[in-house]
Amino acid sequence: MGRIAKTTRIFYVSDLHGSERCYRKFVNAGKIFQAQVLLIGGDIAGKTITPLWPEQGGWAGLYLGRRRWVQTDTDLQRFEDDLRAIGSLPFRTTPQEWNEISQDRARADALFRTLALDVLHRWVSLAETRLKGTGIRTLIGLGNDDLDDMEAVLAASDYVELTDGRILRLDDAHELLTIPYSNITPWHTNRELTEPQLAERIQAAADTLERKDRAVFNIHVPPLGTQLDLAPRLTADLTKVMGPGGDPELVHVGSSAVRQAIEERQPLLGLHGHIHESKGFSNVGRTLCINPGSVYTEGVLQGLLVELEPDRVRTHVLTTG
């Protein structure tokens, strides 16, 4: 019998958006799936702050649009844990203070930054505690919704590896190229680039690769015109356009620069996120491109388990749990 090529097993997720429950599942997945590499492809910051205020001897706030009141400290902690599980940042305050914060954009942004960085510090600590010394690597990068300050938190860890701004070697055969930005979105988020800017960054990174045909392109935004970049069409006021059957009308919103880069360089694998609704696989030439999707608001982790041999993707399975 011929010798079986050495493989590297990667568990990849994206768009956790602050969901503590999803992140804990991600950390546990390394041992469950016997993966050598755990990889997050961006958008790790939460999206919302949920104020909790004193009321009638307890605390009140909104959970999934419904008012919730708790009395004991234990129940308050459980309430906050439930909010973190779906990616919201709990904040104990008063109605007066929250009203003042809501009317002061700079103060609201500063509060969000403080809470989001606190979460990331906790996540890094959890990965270090659970996985350091196991032989499992944890690689984390940012996306368009993330804060630039998060890079320093990740870079400071002696275990977690920041993917952004460099080429990482996954094993003897494969390099990881990361682009932690998106093209322009209707929401004008923190880390967006024009298509020419994206093309320039991809080219600069790709030119340093040793073997483009064996590279893994970890690019947050998916290539344009595939099954990975379909999202609801929006009006100018960000309302979904509904089709004749009552479902949202879908349009391709991926990046033309990413598509062109993959067509020209034909890496072994493309890992993408950004468009939560477009879970699936697409081939762009010889390159297998995958978006695991995201349903973080349900506390459910969607991921990808992929096994690489030097010259091919041996297996790839989408996971939900």
| pLDDT (0 to 100) of residue 106 | 97
Closest CA to 181 of 166, 194, 170: 194
| Contact indicator for 277, 217 with CB cutoff of 8 Å | no
* pLDDT reported for residue 198: 98
Residue 68: inside a domain: no
Q: Is the pLDDT of residue 33 over 90?
A: yes
Q: Which residues have C-beta within 8 Å of that of residue 111, sequence separation ≥ 6?
A: 49, 91, 101
Radius of gyration of the chain measured on its C-alpha atoms: 20
pLDDT at position 25 over 80 = yes
- Segment 150-169 shows an average pLDDT of 97
Per the domain annotation, does 70 fall within a domain?
A: no
**Span 283-321, pLDDT tens digits:** 999 999 999 999 999 999 999 999 999 999 999 999 999
Q: Is residue 101 part of a domain?
A: no
Cα separation, 2 vs 214, in Å, equals 22
- Identify the bridge partners of residue 308 per DSSP, sorted by sequence position: 8, 313
Q: Report which DSSP code applies to 37.
A: E
What CA–CA distance (Å, rounded) separates 108 from 262?
A: 39
1-19 confidence digits (pLDDT tens): 344 458 999 999 999 999 9
Of the pLDDT bands very low, low, confident and very high (cuts 50, 70, 90), residue 277 is: very high
- In a domain? residue 185: yes
At residue 222, the 3 state secondary structure works out as: coil
> Does the CA dihedral 276-281-283-286 come out positive or negative?
positive
**Who has greater pLDDT, 154 or 5?**
154
Question: How do strand 287-291 and strand 269-271 relate by DSSP bridges?
Answer: parallel
Distance CA 272, CA 22 (A): 18
> CB of 230 within 8 A of CB of 252?
yes
Residue 55 lies in a domain: no
Residue 27 in 3-state DSSP? helix
Structural domain boundaries enclosing 239? 8-45+113-320
For residues 205 and 166, is the Cβ–Cβ distance under 8 A?
Answer: no
Query: End-to-end distance of the chain based on CA atoms, in angstroms?
Result: 37
Would the pLDDT of 270 be above 60?
yes
Q: How would you class 152 by CB atoms within 10 Å of its CB: exposed for 0-12, middle for 13-18, buried for 19 or more?
A: exposed
According to the model, what pLDDT value does residue 220 have?
A: 98
Q: What is the pLDDT of residue 6?
A: 87
In a domain, 90, yes or no: no
Residue at 256 is within a domain: yes
* Mean residue pLDDT across the chain: 96
136, 127 contact by CB (below 8 A): no
Instruction: List pLDDT tens digits, range 57-112.
Output: 999 999 999 999 999 999 999 999 999 999 999 999 999 999 999 999 999 999 99
Rounded Cα distance between 199 and 290, Å, is 20
Cα separation, 307 vs 65, whole angstroms: 41
pLDDT at position 195, please? Answer: 98
Q: What is the CATH number of the domain that holds 259?
A: 3.60.21.10
State what percent of residues in the chain have pLDDT above 90: 96
Q: Is 210 domain-assigned?
A: yes
* CA dist., res. 294 & res. 306, Å (int): 17
Count structural domains, the chain: 1
Contacts (Cβ under 8 Å, ≥6 apart) of 286: 266
Look at residue 246 in the predicted model and tell me its pLDDT.
Answer: 86
